[in-house]
Amino acid sequence: MTASGAALIMAACAAAPAPSLQPSRALPGERETIHYWQDMPDGSIRVQVRSNGCTTKESFEPVVMVDSRTRWTFTVELRRLQPDHCRAFLPEGVELVWSRDELGLPGSASVRVINPQAPTPRPRR
């Protein structure tokens, strides 16, 4: 190969677009800051979220991810699909509960909610 041929190949490589670093699929909604979450003894996941009075489970899309190393550890991220434009004063927010079946989680798998948490009042018991 001649020097000019090598230079031409190098120039072509430099002009190639860089690979995209975007996620393979866009996640729905907005990542929600939560007050609190708990893995309940019955297997359900209880999450205390901000609300102005109109927040329901349907306001969220839970995105479930599996740890590819263990395949038995799952993370859940709540994505808010619908903003809550109501005007009620609910400083503690509302409590929402998802069953493992609703989330597609095996009964004995380890799970954690990965949404950021804000300082909050104690959850209702």
Instruction: Look at residue 123 in the predicted model and tell me its pLDDT.
Output: 52
Q: Number of folded domains in the chain?
A: 1
Asked whether residue 120 is assigned to any structural domain, the reply reads no
Residue 75 domain-assigned (yes or no): yes
Within-domain flag for 20: no
Quick one: pLDDT at residue 5?
52
| Residue 79 φ then ψ, to 5° | -115, 120
Q: Is residue 54 part of a domain?
A: yes
pLDDT tens digits for range 33-86? 999 999 999 999 999 999 999 999 999 999 999 988 888 899 999 999 999 999
At residue 22 the predicted structure's pLDDT band, cuts being 50, 70 and 90, is very low
Alpha carbon distance 83, 98 (integer Å): 20
3 belongs to a structural domain: no
Q: Which domain holds residue 77?
A: 28-113
In a domain, 7, yes or no: no
77 assigned to some structural domain:
yes
pLDDT for position 69: 87
Say whether pLDDT at 124 is over 60.
no
Q: Which residues contact 80 (CB under 8 A, 6 or more apart)?
A: 29, 30, 31, 32, 59, 60
Residue 19 within any structural domain of the chain:
no
